[in-house]
Amino acid sequence: MNKINIVCVYKDQTNSNTPWQMYSEEDVDRLYRGVSRNINIDFDFHCISNRETKYNTIPLVTDSDGFWNKVELFRKDLFNGPRLYFDLDVVICDDITPMIKSCTDSKLYMAEEPYRSIHNSSVMLWNQDYSDLYDNYVSNQADIVREHDDVTRQGVLGDQAYIGENIEHNIIDKKYIDWEHHKVDCDYVDPTVLIFTGRKKPHLNQHLDVVKNNWI
């Protein structure tokens, strides 16, 4: 692999009443800097957004809420070559090149939450056309959101339920990913990528050394 597309999704929701879901362009900058410090292959950085950014900005085209905007990652012909997606609340702490090179299959790789053993869309890597997933979402958006946001479902919810249940996928090697969770105590030691889930976000936990050293 000589080059990779690094992708994030940023929807400006400045009027949101949920502080753990409030992101800014500075979060995009932090992700870009985290990638730049911790990669040893060439990359292009893209931001799918409803506002212009300093990076290669790809406009959002669906009127989706929150994490459902990630389905737009699978629009047809957005990128040439492999894609690596990160949520904006991911903290990159070490060289991600070995993680990238460990994903040798062209099909989708997703993270897996260790405390529930369910797939997670905070980090994804793929090099195939999955535009059928996006096209189906556009045609059936209300029904898909209603089904996958239903809190009576067992296990995974939301976009990651829709993505993981409709695309055959691999799991990224767990040695590269650790977790900070708002409900479960997770011990991490020298993570490559640290995922903040639920309401425990980096901008609300700036006292943590891992956030001070790798995010702020």
Tens digit of each residue's pLDDT (9 = 90 or more) over 135-183:
999 999 999 999 998 866 666 789 999 999 999 999 999 899 988 765 5
Burial string for 15-28 (b: 16+ CB within 10 Å, else e) reads eeeeeeebbebebb
- The answer on pLDDT for 18 being more than 60 is no
Q: Which of the four pLDDT bands, split at 50, 70 and 90, describes residue 185?
A: low
Q: What is the mean pLDDT of residues 26-43?
A: 96
For residues 126, 68, 138, 118, the Cα torsion angle rounded to the nearest 10 degrees is 50
Pick the CATH number of 3-214 from 3.10.20.30, 3.90.550.10, 3.40.30.10, 3.30.70.360: 3.90.550.10
| Model confidence, pTM | 0.91
